[in-house]
Structure 1
């Protein structure tokens, strides 16, 4: 998983993207999973790689309670932020409580999930290896808990207006997402299908839905709120930086490419769709 302090888990970035994440997630999968949670009183929900807690803020109020959330992350600074932002009531007014737990998703085992109703994660799977995704699926299925895994990149980016270098930067970024780092081969855009396969092979019932970011630089983000240009600009810079890190010969084009894109962003003319997928896996007994 990404190390604490890396750009993908920087608090300012996580906060900037939160409303676009909320607008993108597939609510129909939440509805499909509600029946499983209603069997547990209270529902115990473990949010792995929780970051600043955006998943809990989005999901707790959409589920019936009572709920007890376990917010788990490797970064103690992010955990402190997550603990202060959780809602206190569920969709039906029942109480929501939360605790924090410092730990690595890769170390999660079925025994730790005993009594857990649901495991959640947001924008995490693409940072894992195939072995780690398999391990997560095995732990959830063995423990009999559902999993709602949202906002996994799929390697599809649409930028309007088009630029001749879009395809080359996109391909380099996808390769960067699949890079080998610290002896780990990351799944990147292959993570969604890998999760579907891993849960299905273990007997879970799996559904997936698209959950694209839709960034409008004409003044709104993916949730229709002000700030779309700021989010698109930050995403664009990170996207270009990652592509150049993977394919250094792109550096000679990066400055001019970024200026063209930034100018369109400032003019409110840039539209960006970043493809993601959400995956819901229900244990066989609940399906």
Structure 2
């Protein structure tokens, strides 16, 4: 199992993904991971569809965890630049999806980190212990383009993807999965999705307005609607149950402490930028708030000083979900 992301996982432009790889790895709900492993155990081979795959963090974590020696993965993301970081990308993807240029100079490092190799004549091959993993990438939108579900899958996975989508889009996704697969629907393993909580230790009187504004920023009106944001995990569970899935959910919080200084600073960056944007909107009359820019600056400075002294801990609430189809409901 990888403890940290391999050096070639992402360039510095995507440093946040590198930082969160470790936080995600140690936060995943072990009980649900055991359910996934039990679901695939004993099979000679499996096909896995990874939605919103980004730079391949789910693949890097899960492939070594699944007790199957022959694995085929397909990674889907709208960001071709991120997919180009994944050794799984093929030079020609086939179908109607555009080809993706593979950053071949990055491939060997990723494979070496997994203990595998990458034959230059055969794209997307890894060996992880006894596991042979073949993988390819598709540039596209899994919500609006049903072609990504054209094949049959043994498992569909997604990590920290649905937080950014509005409820109507997620509802459309589940309806699409239901209508496409019917009784052959695979289970879905959705990990590290937000579940409201954001706590700071030690506490401060300014935590509540900061937290409220940060969550409001995630839920602010945008062109595509209001993202689920901190309600993501609970909305996923509700919408999945409504469309015929049995829902198993367990907490998977990030618990960031003195050993996570870079991650803590990055999280404070996100909070500061989001809250600043909301306060500027308030200054234009959109939000009547007593908490202001100066108070935010003092709060951030105090929190950064606590990071440097090894005193700050931040907990971010998440839930993992294991969604298994109810055949009778899905057939209706």
TM category, shorter: 0.7 to 0.9
Q: TM-score, normalised by structure 2?
A: 0.75
Q: Structure 1 residue 111: deviation in Å?
A: 7.0
- Structure with the higher helix share, 1 or 2: 1
Equivalent of 1:55, from 55, 58, 67? Answer: 58
> Superposition pairs for residues 89-100 of structure 1, below 5 Å?
89=127, 93-100=130-137
1:157 aligns with 2:161: no
Q: Deviations over 1:134-157 (max 9, x none)?
A: 122233344201111111112211
Where 2:310 maps in the other structure, the secondary structure is coil
Where 2:152 maps in the other structure, the secondary structure is coil
Q: Deviations over 1:53-75 (max 9, x none)?
A: 11111111111222111111111
Alpha-carbon distance in 1 for matches of 2:44, 2:237 = 28
Where 1:263 maps in the other structure, the secondary structure is helix
1:281 aligns with 2:328: no
1:173·1:242 contact (CA, 8 Å) conserved in 2?
A: yes
Name which of structure 1's ranges 32-41 and 63-72 shifts more when overlaid on structure 2.
32-41
Matched with 2:34 is 31
Matched with 1:5 is none
| Count of equivalent residues | 268
CA pair 111-158 structure 1, distance change in 2 beyond 3 A:
closer
Q: TM-score, normalised by structure 1?
A: 0.86
> Superposition pairs for residues 229-268 of structure 1, below 5 Å?
229-248=261-280, 250-268=292-310
Q: Deviations over 1:73-97 (max 9, x none)?
A: 1111110112244653468x23111
CA pair 80-183 structure 1, distance change in 2 beyond 3 A:
closer
Alpha-carbon distance in 2 for matches of 1:94, 1:28 = 23
1:114 aligns with 2:151: yes
Matched with 1:272 is 314
Alpha-carbon distance in 1 for matches of 2:131, 2:199 = 41
2:142·2:148 contact (CA, 8 Å) conserved in 1?
A: no
Runs of at least 5 residues in structure 2 that lack an aligned partner in the other structure: 1-11, 88-106, 115-125, 283-291
Where 2:63 maps in the other structure, the secondary structure is helix
Q: Rg larger in 1 or in 2?
A: 2
CA pair 27-113 structure 1, distance change in 2 beyond 3 A:
farther
1:157·1:273 contact (CA, 8 Å) conserved in 2?
A: yes
Runs of at least 5 residues in structure 1 that lack an aligned partner in the other structure: 1-8, 221-227
Q: Structure 1 residue 10: deviation in Å?
A: 5.3
Runs of 4+ in 1 over 6 A off after TM superposition: none
Matched with 1:211 is 252
Question: For the aligned residues, what is the CA RMSD?
Answer: 2.2
2:166·2:224 contact (CA, 8 Å) conserved in 1?
A: no
Equivalent of 2:71, from 56, 67, 74? Answer: 67
Equivalent of 1:11, from 4, 9, 14? Answer: 14
